[in-house]
Amino acid sequence: MKHNHWIDPIKRMFIPRPTKQKHKRFDMAERTSSFPDQYFSRFMRSIVQEDFITYPSYAEYDSLKDDIAKHNEVGRSNVYLSTGSGACIKSLCEITMYPSANIVSPVPCYPMYGIYGRLFGGDHIGVEYDDSITFNLDKLIDSINLNTRLVVISNPFSPIGEYKTIDEIRKLCKVCADREIILLIDEAYVDFSPGTVLPLIKEFDNVVISRTFSKAFGAAGIRVGYLLASEKLIDLVTKVQLTYPLSNISVKFASYLLNNLDEIALYSYDTIRGRDNLCKLLSDGGYDVINSHTNSIHFHEKDGDNSEAVDIMNNYGLAFKSGDTKTGTPVMVPGDDRKTWIRLSVGPDIDTMAFVGDLI
């Protein structure tokens, strides 16, 4: 049948997730604990039948944009809404990619950067780390060519968790601006990091920042993400927006979270504390640990293949990502040949859980 032939080589993998009933899920950087009962019940009392019966109104979308704008100290015209930050990234690819164009990003990275670029006929130039966990931005700049239409980095970097300062990123912004290339900075994990680079969107009208409600806000299930950028860039990407990108329930819960931030701030603070304590415990206990500015960490037995650690965590019913010798699936970090690293999502009190005592 007639179709865009360039999508034929694309392979999409939809890996089944562990069931919520049988596993404690520490595999997808989600919130690791429930919201306090009173906090969540107060929101649930706001749900009415019309939220399911009617289409969302654009006034409700604008109200959510206003809440996001206030939270980030920008204007409503600087905000774009979509179904998770992944859909935001897809929208950017839709307005930039075509056959012979390319998207440039570090690798390893969020795999959908490259897939979305190829879906619209473009190519993906993946720039690898040098032999360390510190990514070389100059190497990324050197990979930009005449066909580059979109450059993407995450900050903190995913999956490794490295953080770049605003001054380090500014050079990349200027290079992209001089070449009229859109630069996306994915800040999915910003709440677990030293801070945002949001001021860059006021310096450069080609810079766009993506955010999500799935990480620190603990609402991966509502599928809400947004872009922050110059009015000019937001106008461009709005041309490809779905008619109704968010449900009434999603809009309500996202607004509720933004207007009740104490719980989000506390969760983020406690997650950072638990993460840093866990990294120290594992390091002192004989593991190689990659310190992170996200809500996930990587660790590996210094003298083993992690099989013992994998068995311990499986016995506790934890879902996590591992390159264990039993499945043969590699999990690696830059600058290290071992393929059996463990990637574990973290949250408050992760450092006090019973499995940690068995690991160390």
In this prediction, residue 21 carries a pLDDT of 57
Instruction: Read off the pLDDT of residues 303-344 as tens digits, 9 standing for 90 and up.
Output: 889 999 999 999 999 999 988 666 667 888 998 889 999 999
Hey, what domains does the chain have and what are their CATH numbers? 17-33+263-359 (3.90.1150.10), 48-258 (3.40.640.10)
Sign of the Cα pseudo-torsion (37, 40, 43, 47, in order): negative
In this prediction, residue 328 carries a pLDDT of 60
Q: Which range in 26-35, 256-265, 321-330 is most confidently predicted, on average pLDDT?
A: 256-265
The neighbouring-strand residues paired with 127 are 106
Instruction: Read off the pLDDT of residues 108-152 as tens digits, 9 standing for 90 and up.
Output: 888 888 899 999 999 999 999 998 899 999 999 999 999 999 999
In this prediction, residue 256 carries a pLDDT of 98
pLDDT at 197 over 70: yes
pTM for the structure as a whole: 0.94
Q: Answer for the pair 253, 116: CB distance below 8 angstroms, yes or no.
A: no
Helix axes 231-238, 84-96, angle to 10 degrees: 90
Q: Rounded distance, CA 250 to CA 219, Å?
A: 9
Rg (CA), the chain: 21
| CA–CA distances in Å: residue 63 to residues 219, 242, 256, 329 | 19, 18, 11, 45
Q: What is the mean pLDDT of residues 243-264?
A: 98
Q: What is the mean pLDDT of residues 147-176?
A: 96
